[in-house]
């Protein structure tokens, strides 16, 4: 069973150290987005990366629409990977929707994590009176329709919006290629789950010390969302980054690593 899970989620363990860092990737991505980040930690930490079922080189035959119709299925992936590796007291670093997957895991198993680091998190992506999630329902519907009609065109449109940094077009090109490597059907369902989940009422249940890394401009997550999460998670720390774009671990590796290391040293 243990080996099945490690193979299912394409789990990779590198590095040396008493403490374990577990990195969770965001929607449309896989563990390779962490390649330039984890090399900065492998000398002092045991590092775990993995692919959620349906992403990257995970076992796609293990994907079921029922299990992954909510973030609970992805949370289960994370908990099962940690159980297979017999982890406790780990440090979880989650990007985007992985921040919320980590949040759910930390609430279910409070002793699993010693610290949690969220990069560009959002508990809810839709606008409501008094809450700026960044998207209207019509925006989400359009996005999902575009994914269904012409997935490659959707990826071509979304990549530069997500990455920003127009002066470095290679970033958007690489991200577009990563998006295009996904199974369109699975990606669309993951997008639907990501953009329609509402975890706002879970934030105050978090007891794990939490760092929120908020890029100073992010077309996916409005800057005030970082402050909103910080206010709701007791004892959390918010760092406004100089980085722009939703993927600072790809566009601004050095700043991302510096922010993480500073927090781990506290």
Active site residues: 96, 218, 246
How far is Cα 174 from Cα 157, in angstroms, rounded to an integer? 13
Residue 1, classed as helix, strand or coil, is coil
Pure H helices in the chain: 2-8, 35-38, 71-84, 97-108, 137-149, 151-163, 169-180, 184-196, 223-232, 248-251, 253-265
Find the length of the chain. Answer: 266
Alpha-carbon torsion (250, 212, 143, 104), positive or negative: positive
Nearest-angstrom CA–CA distance, 53 and 59: 6
């Amino acid at each position: 069973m243990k080996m099945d899970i490690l193979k299912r989620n394409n789990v990779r363990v590198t590095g040396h150290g008493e403490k374990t860092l577990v990195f969770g990737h965001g929607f449309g991505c896989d563990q390779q987005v962490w390649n330039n980040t984890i090399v900065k930690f492998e000398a002092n930490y045991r590092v775990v990366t993995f692919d959620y079922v349906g992403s990257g080189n995970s076992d796609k035959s293990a994907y079921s629409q029922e299990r992954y119709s909510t973030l609970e299925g992805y949370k289960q992936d994370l908990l099962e990977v940690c159980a297979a590796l017999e982890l406790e007291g780990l440090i979880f670093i989650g990007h985007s929707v992985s921040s919320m997957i980590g949040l759910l895991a930390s609430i279910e198993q409070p002793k699993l994590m010693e610290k949690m680091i969220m990069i560009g998190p959002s508990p809810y992506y839709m606008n409501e009176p008094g809450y700026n999630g960044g998207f209207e329902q019509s925006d989400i519907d359009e996005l999902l329709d575009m994914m269904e009609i012409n997935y490659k065109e959707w990826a071509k449109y979304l990549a530069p919006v997500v990455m920003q940094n127009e002066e470095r077009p290679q970033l958007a090109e690489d991200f577009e290629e990563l998006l295009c490597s996904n199974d369109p059907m699975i990606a669309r369902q993951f997008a639907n789950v990501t953009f329609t989940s509402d975890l706002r009422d879970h934030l105050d249940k978090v007891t794990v010390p939490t760092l929120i890394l908020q890029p100073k401009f992010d077309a996916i997550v409005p800057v005030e969302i970082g402050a909103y999460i910080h206010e709701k998670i007791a004892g959390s720390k918010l760092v406004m980054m100089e980085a722009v774009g939703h993927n600072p671990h790809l566009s601004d590796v050095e700043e991302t690593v510096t922010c993480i290391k500073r927090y781990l040293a506290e």
